[in-house]
Amino acid sequence: MKLLITGGAGFIGSNFILNRIEKGDQVVNLDKLTYSGNLNNLVSVQNRENYSFVRGDIGDKSLVRKIFSECRPDAVVNFAAETHVDRSVIDPESFVRTNVLGTSNLLLETLEYWKSLSQEEKAKFRFHHISTDEVYGSLGFEDPAFTENTAYAPNSPYSASKASSDHFVRAFHETYGLPTLISNCSNNYGPRQFPEKLIPLMVLNAIEGKPLPIYGNGKNIRDWLHVFDHCDAISLILEKSKPGECYNVGGNSEKNNLEVVAAIINVLDQEVPRPDGKSYSEQIHFVKDRPGHDLRYAINADKIKKDLGWTPKFNFDQGIRETVLWYLANEDWVKNVKDGSYQDWIKKNYEER
Ligand code: NAD
Ligand code: TYD
């Protein structure tokens, strides 16, 4: 396939590109390179003939139009977004700009391009929007998991902006017939995640002897999905499902934050024991909670299992071990992402907690 991938320098997008380049796809990666976009994620493919990179914004009309006319993709996979809930609390506007206005611009330009295709090309074309389970809001401990029919009830500026973009995607299918797809997945983990998110933050803070900041009482639950499993699900949906479909994608692995941190500590205590012989759990530090902190997310992934035969391959213990080892083994990658803007963020988010 010829793919236009947006946000491909980020965590999930780069893992997806590495996977698709190996399959022989032609990939154009449009990425603004915000703080979380990192071309080091893609060094292994940067000189491949079937890969090219354009630095730019999905909200830039003329640039997006030019890319469509030059590369003429068979599909768009939209990963580009502002993605961190804590940042959305401090700066909601940038989430509106990229996630709402940027996505709607990308849709408009996709529609113009799609209209210019032959009937056969039109029928094969797909616009796949990558979304999150956070659009469904928060569950109680005993509530059933989110299905594709759960009503949207976003609670953070991040999830509100993603919900809005999902609605635009749906509307472009219903109104104009654009062959769209949406997948809503749970929390991803794995290699190449920017270390402001829970798992890489905890690994790196631990080995640097810094506190491990747990928001509130640490009992909030997320469902954890390995990024490789997520990429496989995206490929299946892209290649096999009908236009207009939505799929929930989950890791079948609900854990509270204290359990996640304990699993990380378990690996670190075995692999890189502290010089004083104590456990890294000594560094756990409870801090002020996130405002509007969703209690629990859980995914019912029956639809994608039934329609497309997808199930996650990783179990959490195996996945978390490999992930921790990846961050330990990739010191240069870590050094590169922890620049001045990263230090500024850490100060802003944790200093007053
Ligand atoms: P990320 O923050 O690691 O990457 C986002 C990428 O988008 C970066 O490379 C960034 O430079 C780029 N970008 C940001 N604004 C842009 C713009 N205006 N134009 C072009 N590029 C822009 O995020 P991620 O974790 O890889 O998430 C990718 C997608 O998956 C997002 O849409 C996110 O909402 C969704 N998602 C993520 C998770 C998760 O756990 N990480 C879970 C569910 C859904
Ligand atoms: P995060 O990785 O930011 O993902 P999301 O908020 O999108 O689920 O956070 C995962 C969970 O970890 C969430 O319940 C908030 C919590 N958390 C902490 O307890 N401490 C931290 O320093 C961070 C970044 C997150």
pLDDT 10s digits, 111-135: 999 999 999 999 999 999 999 999 9
pLDDT for residue 340: 77
Number of domains in the chain: 1
Does some domain include residue 45? yes
Q: Which DSSP state fits 252?
A: S
Does some domain include residue 180? yes
Ligand 1 center to residue 80 CA distance, Å? Answer: 5
Ligand 2 pocket, 198 CB below 6 A? yes
Give the whole-angstrom CA distance, residue 146 versus residue 297: 8
Q: Which ligand is nearest to the CA of 249?
A: 1
**Which residue range forms the structural domain that includes residue 146?**
2-190+224-252+296-313
Element (H, E) at 285: strand 284-287
Contact 226, 324 (CB under 8 A): no
Does some domain include residue 181? yes
Residue nearest to atom 6 of ligand 2 (CA): 85
pLDDT for residue 352: 83
Annotated catalytic, 174?
Answer: no
Annotated catalytic, 189?
Answer: no
pLDDT for residue 28: 98
Identity of residue 198: L
The CATH number assigned to the domain holding 47 equals: 3.40.50.720
Q: Which ligand is nearest to the CA of 165?
A: 1
Q: Which ligand is nearest to the CA of 133?
A: 1
Does some domain include residue 283? no
Ligand 1 center to residue 10 CA distance, Å? Answer: 6
Give the whole-angstrom CA distance, residue 189 versus residue 338: 18
Annotated catalytic, 133?
Answer: yes
Residue nearest to atom 5 of ligand 1 (CA): 10
Contact 162, 131 (CB under 8 A): yes
Does some domain include residue 239? yes
Q: Which of 134, 245, 254, 294 is catalytic?
A: 134
Residue 287 three-state SS: strand
Q: Which of 82, 109, 133, 166 is catalytic?
A: 133
* Beta-ladder partners of 126: 75
- pTM of this structure: 0.98
Does some domain include residue 284? no
pLDDT for residue 74: 98
Does some domain include residue 22? yes
Q: Which atom of ligand 1 is nearest to the CA of 134?
A: 43
Spell out, as residue ranges, where the chain has pLDDT lower than 70.
Answer: none
Does some domain include residue 303? yes
